[in-house]
Amino acid sequence: MGSRFDEMRIFAGNGNLALAQAISERIGVPLGDATIVKFSNENIFVKLNESVREKDVFVVQSLSAPHLSDRIMELLIMLDACKRASAGRVTAVIPYYAYGRTDKKDQPRVPITARLLADMIAAAGAQQVLTIDLHAGQIQGFFSIPTDELTAMHLLVRYFADKGWDDLIVVSPDVGFAKRARNFAEALNAPLAISEKRRVQHFGRKDGNYTSPEILNLIGDVAGKRCVVVDDEIATGGSIMEVVQLLEREGAREIYACCVHAVLAANASQRLQASGIRELVTTDTLPIAPEKQWSNLTVLSVSTLLAEVMQRIHSGVSVDTIFTQRNHPALG
Ligand code: R5P
């Protein structure tokens, strides 16, 4: 099918330049020329240095730390600049969507920031959104504009499938992730264990809403097995560390971990390196600073997947068939 728009343009914020560059190389469309500056008063200014009039524009921005609020503002301002420059269509490509954990009003007088951010993205000028593995499915519904949520779990599945292990057991770090972990285990033809986690609220701390994970129980037998703990993201590493300690106590033979989004906040990287995890496998939805990388960290790229989907969006071709063809090259 041909495109409604004769040309595609890709612009990148500073949230994950390496990934944006890799996507643009795969598609064969160079990154658009834009100036992004932060003035001494901390106001951010964006200028697109080329015309986007009636073009099919993709703005790639991962909502990453450090400087998360700047990354959000860059995205919003770039979308506004595209809209005001008469872009034909604007798609916000957000490999990692921040504030996904603030997705419900589960205490009195708290916001639903994941919804607020979705509203701001649409108000700024995005006509559609392309993202990967949202923290919770309901966030899709927070967007008033068409939203394609991809999954990068296939990349992780293929990586572990290629190891050819027959004593593997997949471990879900909590009950909430069990459904996605079940799909992961099924794709690997492996059994599933589930750890039961609860978050303990620490009131009275200066940071107000701090919680820490506490593992209560393990459902499943991991003794003597190779365990692969799978999660959507690793932030402080608190959840995964609790699970690793539990698996060690339960006699696991080897422990591996994987996640789509390596947030690796604070000293998570050091804690994981010092843990019993043999290898952490993740993707490049977020940039990982060199000082947070280590020899047993494997990073798989989502650039092929995003590039393929962006081309399909541009051409008006179904995205679904990528995921229904198990061996599609875009899946790793
Ligand atoms: C929890 O709901 C998520 O699936 C992850 O387990 C969580 O976001 C990881 O956070 P942290 O690494 O800070 O425990």
Domain boundaries, the chain: 8-152+303-331, 153-300
CA distances from 152 to 107, 132, 323 (A): 31, 7, 10
Q: 55 an active-site residue?
A: no
Residue partners of 270: CB distance under 8 A and separation at least 6: none
Query: What's the rounded Cα separation, in Å, for the pair 22 and 11?
Result: 12
Q: Into which CATH architecture does domain 8-152+303-331 fall?
A: 3-Layer(aba) Sandwich (3.40)
Query: What's the rounded Cα separation, in Å, for the pair 171 and 295?
Result: 23
Give 213 Cα–ligand 1 centroid separation in angstroms: 8
**DSSP-based three-state secondary structure for 48:** strand
Q: Candidates 180, 233, 270, 282: which one to mutate for ligand 1, based on the most atoms within 8 Å of Cβ?
A: 233
pLDDT higher than 90, residue 331: no
Query: What's the rounded Cα separation, in Å, for the pair 10 and 66?
Result: 23
What average pLDDT does the structure give for the chain?
A: 94
pLDDT higher than 90, residue 200: no
Share of the chain above pLDDT 90, in %: 87
Confidence of residue 215 (pLDDT cuts 50, 70, 90): low
Q: Of the candidates 166, 199, 197, which has an alpha carbon nearest to the alpha carbon of residue 181?
A: 197
Confidence of residue 214 (pLDDT cuts 50, 70, 90): confident
Condensed to tens digits (0 to 9), the pLDDT of residues 149-159 reads: 999 999 999 99
Give 122 Cα–ligand 1 centroid separation in angstroms: 27
- For every residue of 249-269, DSSP letters joined together read HTT-SEEEEEEEEE---TTHH
pLDDT of res. 6: 86
Q: Of the candidates 47, 46, 142, which has an alpha carbon nearest to the alpha carbon of residue 94?
A: 142
pLDDT of res. 160: 98
Condensed to tens digits (0 to 9), the pLDDT of residues 123-173 reads: 999 999 999 999 999 999 999 999 999 999 999 999 999 999 999 999 999
pLDDT higher than 60, residue 207: no
Question: Which atom of ligand 1 lies closest to the CA of 237?
Answer: 12
> Dihedral through CA 249, CA 238, CA 288, CA 182, nearest 10?
70
Q: Do domains 8-152+303-331 and 153-300 have the same CATH topology?
A: yes
pLDDT higher than 90, residue 213: no
Q: Name the residue with higher pLDDT: 214 or 259.
A: 259
pLDDT of res. 293: 97
What CATH number is given for 153-300 in this structure? 3.40.50.2020
| Structure-token pair, residue 165 | 């292990």
Catalytic residue, chosen from 55, 197, 206, 292, is 197
Query: Residues with beta carbon inside 6 Å of ligand 1?
Result: 173, 176-177, 213, 231-240
Distance of CA 174 to the CA centre of its chain: 18
Condensed to tens digits (0 to 9), the pLDDT of residues 3-48 reads: 888 899 999 999 999 999 999 999 999 999 999 999 999 999 999 9
pLDDT of res. 249: 94
Please list the residues that pair with 36 across neighbouring strands.
46
